[in-house]
Amino acid sequence: MNEQLPSDKMALKLLSENGCSRRVINHCKAVEKVATEIAEACKKKGLNVDVKLVQIGALLHDIGRSKTHSVDHAIVGAEIARSLNLPEAVISIIERHVGGGITVEEAENLGWPAKSYVPETLEEKIVTYADKLIEGSERVSIEQTIKKFSKKLPPSSINGMRKLHEEITLLVGDFNVGGHVA
Taking each helix axis from N to C terminus, what angle separates 88-95 and 51-60, rounded to the nearest 10 degrees?
A: 50
Taking the C-alpha atoms of residue 120 and residue 21, their distance in angstroms, rounded to an integer, is 29
Neighbours of 5 (CB within 10 A): 19
Q: Residue 177's pLDDT is what? A: 58
Distance of CA 1 to the CA centre of its chain: 19
Q: Residue 2's pLDDT is what? A: 42
CA dihedral of residues 63, 94, 84, 69 (deg, nearest 10): -30
CA 5, 9, 14, 15 dihedral sign is: positive
Worst-scoring range by mean pLDDT, 40-54, 57-71, 165-179?
Answer: 165-179
The DSSP string of 81-145 is HHHTT--HHHHHHHHT-SBTBB-HHHHHHHT--SS-BS--SHHHHHHHHHHHTEETTEE--HHHH
- pLDDT(146) > 60: yes
- pLDDT(182) > 80: no
| Of the options 3.30.420.340, 3.30.470.20, 1.10.3210.10, 1.10.1040.10, the CATH number for the domain spanning 8-172 | 1.10.3210.10
SS3 175: coil
In percent, how much of the chain has pLDDT > 70? 95
pLDDT tens for 61-95 read 999 999 999 889 999 999 999 999 999 999 999 99
What average pLDDT is seen over the chain? 92
- pLDDT(113) > 80: yes
- pLDDT(178) > 80: no
Q: What is the DSSP letter of 21?
A: -
User: Residues 28, 99, 70, CA angle at the centre, nearest 5°?
Assistant: 70
* 156 band by pLDDT with thresholds 50, 70 and 90: confident
Taking the C-alpha atoms of residue 169 and residue 93, their distance in angstroms, rounded to an integer, is 20
pLDDT tens for 2-46 read 479 999 999 999 999 999 999 999 999 999 999 999 999 999 999
151-166 mean pLDDT: 88
Q: Residue 3's pLDDT is what? A: 72
**Global confidence as pTM:** 0.93
